[in-house]
Amino acid sequence: MSTTQVVQGFSLTNRWLLYASMMLSPAQFAGGIGSNIPTNVGFLAYNWYTQIQWYQAVQAKELHALSLLPIHFNFIYAISYLGGVSSGNIFLSAFLSLGTVGVLILNTISAWVSWATNQPEGFGEYQFFFFGWRTLSKGWHIFTLLWQIGDSFLVLNAALAAGYLCTVGNINSEEVKKMPWYLHKYPAIPLGAIAMLLIGWPLILWTELIVQRNHIESETDMVAVWLFVAQIGLFLIPSWRLQKEFLRNDNVEAFLLKVQEEVLGAVEKGCDQLLHPSEADEDEKAPGIFDERYDKNADSSEDASLEHSDIDVAVTICCEEGRHRSVAFVEELARRLAIFKHEDRFSRYLKMTIDVTHRDIGDPEGLGRPVGQHKVPNKTQAKARQRERHEKGSRHTSHPQYDENGS
C-alpha cells in the first residue's frame, strides 16, 4: 500500500498537540482573568507558528487531501483562539486580542487559497467522509465554498468578539475570588476540555479519517512540540510560582512573624485594657507576652464582657506599586491569622475577624479618588507615596507604620 508524504508538522504527534491546545483554550481564558502574568503569550505563539505552517504548506501545495481541512478548522479556531485574549493587564490583553485576530485572518486566507488552488488538483482522487465515503469533485468543491463563506462570517464575528473579551479579564483579585469555582483555571482544565471535545470531536474524527483513507504521512515538527511545551509551562507555572518564591524568602518570613506577633500583641493589649483598665496604665506589657490573667478556662463576668467589645487593629503593608509583593504578603498574613486559635492565647469569648483590602487592585468604598483597575500605577506615583510615608514617619516616630500600597 502506497503512502502520501506531505510537509512536516502534520504527524500524529503534531495533530494531537493541536487537538490538546484546542481543548485547553477555555482554561487558557480562565487562567488569564485577573492575572498580570503573560500566561497566554505561549498559547498565541503556538497558534501563530501552526498557522504559518499551514499557510506555507498551502502555498507550496504540499497538503494533498489535507487541503480539505483549513476550511473546517476555521470553524473551531474561531472559537478556541478566543481563549487566548484574557489578561489582568489591559495592554497585554489588547496585544493578545490583536494577535488572535491576526492569526484568525491568516487561517482564513489559508483556507481560501487552499480551496482555490489545492483542492482542484484532487478532483477524482481526494477522499473524505460525509455520510459515507466521498471523492472530491466539482460539485463537492462548490459545496465546500458555501461552508467557507459561512466560516468567514464566523471569523469576522470572532474578531469583533476578541475586542470585547480583551476587557473581561481586566479585573482585580477580589473579583476573581468571587467567580464561580468552575471558572477558575484548574477546574476549567477538565471541564473546558470536555466542553471543547463535545464541540470539536466531529472535526477530530473527520481529520483522522481523511488521514487514514488517503494514507497520509508526515514527519513531526519538533519546533511545534517545544512551543506547545512552552505554552503549557507558561499556563501552569506563573500563577503560583512567583508568590511562592516571594514568601519563601527568609527576610519575608521573618517580617511575617514580626507583624503577626505585633498584631497579636496589640489584640492582647486591647484585652488587657478592657479587662483591667486601671492596671493597664501602670503595667503595660510587651507584645507577645502571655498574661496569666487570660486563663482559657476562666469563666468570669469580666472575661465574658469581651464578647460584646471590639478591638480594632489596622495593619498596612507596602510595596512599590501595591499589586504584587504587598498583596502576597497580606494574603499570607491573613491566612495565618485566620487559623490562629484564639483560645491558645486569649479569652474564648474573643472572636477574630479579618478583613483584607488591596488598595491598588481594588476599588474600596469611601475613597474619593480613582484607584484599583481604573488607575494605572507607575514609578512616579510610587515614589510620591514613598515620600509621603517617609514624611509621615518622621512626624510620628513613636508609632512605626507598616504602610501599604494597597493591602
pLDDT, tens only, 80-96: 888 888 877 788 888 98
The terminus-to-terminus CA distance of the chain in angstroms comes to 69
Name the burial class of residue 230, with classes exposed (0-12), middle (13-18) and buried (19+) by CB atoms within 10 angstroms of its CB.
middle
Grouping H, G, I as helix, E, B as strand and the rest as coil, residue 181 is helix
Q: Residue 353: pLDDT above 70? A: yes
- What's the pLDDT at 191? 92
CB 174 within 8 A of CB 362: yes
- What's the pLDDT at 291? 46
Measured CA to CA, the distance from residue 144 to residue 153 in angstroms comes to 14
Domain chopping of the chain, boundaries: 4-236, 247-395
- What's the pLDDT at 135? 93
Give the chain's mean pLDDT: 75
- What's the pLDDT at 295? 47
Name the burial class of residue 154, with classes exposed (0-12), middle (13-18) and buried (19+) by CB atoms within 10 angstroms of its CB.
middle
Q: Residue 119: pLDDT above 80? A: yes
For the chain, helix (H) and strand (E) counts, in that order, are 14, 4
Widest Cα–Cα separation across the chain: 102
Measured CA to CA, the distance from residue 382 to residue 77 in angstroms comes to 42
Instruction: Write out the three cell numbers for 52.
Output: 504559518
Measured CA to CA in angstroms, residue 162 lies from 37, 99, 109, 155, 158 at distances of 19, 10, 19, 10, 6
At 305, the pLDDT band (50, 70, 90 cuts) reads: low
Instruction: Write out the three cell numbers for 46.
Output: 503556538
pTM of the prediction?
A: 0.60
- What's the pLDDT at 133? 92
At 327, the pLDDT band (50, 70, 90 cuts) reads: confident
Q: Residue 198: pLDDT above 50? A: yes
- What's the pLDDT at 63? 85
- What's the pLDDT at 172? 59
Q: Residue 194: pLDDT above 90? A: yes
- What's the pLDDT at 365? 41
Average pLDDT over residues 271-292: 54
Q: Residue 2: pLDDT above 60? A: yes
At 364, the pLDDT band (50, 70, 90 cuts) reads: very low
- What's the pLDDT at 8? 83
**Of the candidates 320, 323, 318, which has an alpha carbon nearest to the alpha carbon of residue 380?**
320
User: Which residues, 6+ apart, have CB-to-CB distance to 247 below 8 Å?
Assistant: 253, 256, 328, 329, 332
Say which residue, 355 or 143, is predicted with more confidence: 143
Average pLDDT over residues 33-57: 85
Say which residue, 355 or 209, is predicted with more confidence: 209
Worst-scoring range by mean pLDDT, 3-12, 293-302, 380-389?
293-302
Average pLDDT over residues 270-275: 70
- What's the pLDDT at 226? 92
Name the burial class of residue 35, with classes exposed (0-12), middle (13-18) and buried (19+) by CB atoms within 10 angstroms of its CB.
buried
- What's the pLDDT at 316? 84
Average pLDDT over residues 102-125: 91
Average pLDDT over residues 158-174: 75
Average pLDDT over residues 322-331: 75
Q: Residue 175: pLDDT above 80? A: no
- What's the pLDDT at 399? 41
Q: Hey, which of 14-18, 252-256, 259-263 has the most confident mean pLDDT?
A: 14-18
- What's the pLDDT at 285? 47
CB 47 within 8 A of CB 84: yes
Q: Residue 173: pLDDT above 80? A: no
Instruction: Calculate what percentage of the chain has a pLDDT beyond 70.
Output: 69
Give bridge partners of residue 217 from the DSSP assignment.
5
Worst-scoring range by mean pLDDT, 14-18, 66-70, 140-144, 188-192?
66-70
- What's the pLDDT at 4? 82
Per residue in 231-244, pLDDT (tens digit) is: 888 777 655 445 55
Grouping H, G, I as helix, E, B as strand and the rest as coil, residue 224 is helix
Grouping H, G, I as helix, E, B as strand and the rest as coil, residue 128 is strand
